[in-house]
Structure formats: structure tokens, C-alpha cells
Amino acid sequence: MQKTRKHRWLRWVSGIVGLLLVIWIGMGLYFFHVGMVPSHKSFVKNTHLTLKRSDPLYQQKKWFVHAHKQEWTMQSASGNYRLVADYLPASSASNKNVVILHGFMGNKSTMAAYASLFHSMGYNVLMPDARAQGQSQGKYIGYGWPERYDVRKWTNKLIAHNGQNSQVVIFGVSMGGATTMMTSGLKLPSQVKALVEDCGYTSLAAELDHEAHHMYHLPTIVRVPAETSLSLVNRVANGFYTSEASSVNALHHNHLPMLFIHGSADNFVPTKMVYENYAATKGPRQLWVVNGASHASSYQHAPRAYRQHLEKFLNQYVK
């Protein structure tokens, strides 16, 4: 009788543990699909270039639509995917170059206004589509971590095209800003003179936790196991744990000048993250928090001041 009860109890416990394990893995798979698999995301806006006359950046975007663009391609740093970029040479011969990096589920055309801005400042402009986004191949989004090697490869391609006297700026917004910071932790060619990040996160793990809390309203007791499961699924499918993808850790290895920009009303990538990023870098640095700007809208919010801050900072390092 006791053995029968014991066996029933063991089966009951095993069943509960098995069910919890299935739920745990299921949560990881669900959030991996939401976060890493490229598809329409209801929580992401501005995934395509739109022209509205009411847009403060309408003229810049209109210029981009009609600008002559060269299509560049290369294999990803891992060699698995064909990547695509637009290249816009400066109006006159220039050794100033910029690599512009777009945000989550964006593409090169969503950076139209920034391309116009840098082009008007005399830069050759290279605008890659990150892997698995835009016209570039890929299975999963890496939030800047695997993409940082692609950015370095694009930079080397740009230098090879425009000569060893090239001076390069790496610039990115949102996920592109985080990618810029993550790239800064690599050994980069000497032609890279400065970096600019706009509203990038401190780490993928921190950003995922923020969204799980504010978008899904998950309590800590649910968030922690869900995020752990997601990290394991991502390691198997995407090649890295979410905790590895850290802007802060990369910035500890950066000695290049960097300008940090963030909106004071950013609720998607909390404004507090920029202070941690700013504190982490080891090179010359400058911070501009744009009063009243929401996520990825600092340029739109203050176009004239945005250009002034960029020019003042970059003119110190790019001649």
C-alpha cells in the first residue's frame, strides 16, 4: 500500500515537473519567435520609409528617394549570408565616410534622413541592411552581437573602395546604436575615427527584461525563467546567450571618441541606459539628452540642434 502511494506521488511530481518544463521551454520558444525571428511586429513602428509633408524631415527623406545609390553586396562575416547595402558617394571627392546602422526590423531606407544629413556634411554614405532584415539574408536577428563583425567587414570594404586615407564614422540608431557600441569593442581599422550612437540599449538582456516588464507586464517570478529559457533557445538557434550581447562590456574596450544621444522621453529604451553606456566607454565622450524626445526621434524632434551637435563633435576628429 505504501509503495503504491509512493509510486503515485512520484508520478504526480514527475508529471508536474514535466509540465513545468514544457511550459518553460514553450515560453523561450515563444519569445524567441517574437524577438529574434524577422516578421511583422505590432510593437514596432517605422519599418519602411514614408513621406509625409508634415514630417520635419520630409525634405531630407525626399532627397534620399531621388538620390543616386549604388548597391553593394558582400558575404556576412560568418560567410553564411548575402548582405546588401546602399552606397551614396559624396557630391565631391571626400575622405570622410560614414557607416549608418538601422534599428530593429528596419532597413537602410528607414535611415534616409540620416543619410541626407551626413551627405550634406560632405560624407560618403554606406547604409547596410543588417542580416535577416531589409534585402539582406539571414534567419535571425542578433541585436548587434553577430552583426558587429559584419559592420567591421563593411568598414573594411568601404576603406578598400575609398582608399587608405579614408576617415570613417560609425553611426547607429536604436538597435543600430547598440550595434555601434558593440562594434566599438572590436579591433577596428585605424581609419575609424569616431562613433555616434543614438538611443542604444545597455545590453540585450536588460532590454528584453524591460520589454517583458512594460509590454507584457510579467512579474519577476515569471520574467526570470522566461528570459533564461529564451537565452538558451537563442544560444542553440542564434549562437549566443542573450547576456553576452552587452554594449556596456564592449564599451569597456573602446578608446575611440563617441557621442551618445538619447531622448529624455524614451520609454522603449529607457533614458537611464544612456548614462550607464556613457560611463562605460574609455575614450573621449560626449552626452546629449534631447529634452522631450521619444525613442529614435531626437533628430525629428530637434533637427537643427541635432546637426549642430553632430558637426561640433565630429569636426574634432574627422578633418
Confidence of residue 5 (pLDDT cuts 50, 70, 90): low
- Predicted TM-score (pTM) of the model is 0.92
Taken in order of first residue, the domains within the chain and their CATH numbers are 50-203+245-314 (3.40.50.1820)
pLDDT tops 90 at residue 107 = yes
Confidence of residue 44 (pLDDT cuts 50, 70, 90): low
Parallel, antiparallel, or unpaired: how do β-strands 82-88 and 124-128 relate?
antiparallel
Residues 6 or more apart whose CB falls under 8 angstroms from that of 221 comprise: none
Closest alpha carbon to 319 in 193, 197, 195: 193
3 vs 16, more confident:
16
Confidence of residue 319 (pLDDT cuts 50, 70, 90): confident
Q: Which residue has the cell 552581437?
A: 145
Q: At 84, is the secondary structure helix, strand, or coil? A: strand
Beta carbons within 10 angstroms of residue 50's beta carbon: 12
* pLDDT for res 283: 96
Taking CA atoms, 282 is separated from 144, 259, 262, in Å, by 20, 12, 19
pLDDT tops 90 at residue 205 = yes
CB 124 within 8 A of CB 87: yes
pLDDT tops 90 at residue 185 = yes
Residues 6 or more apart whose CB falls under 8 angstroms from that of 220 comprise: none
CB 173 within 8 A of CB 101: yes
* pLDDT for res 230: 93
- Give the rounded percent of residues in the chain with a pLDDT score beyond 90: 78
pLDDT, tens digit, 9 for 90 and up, residues 222-254:
899 899 999 999 999 999 999 999 999 999 999
CB 36 within 8 A of CB 235: no
Q: Which residue pairs from 41-44 have beta carbons closer than 8 angstroms and sit at least 24 positions apart in sequence?
A: 41/104, 41/105, 43/215, 44/104, 44/105
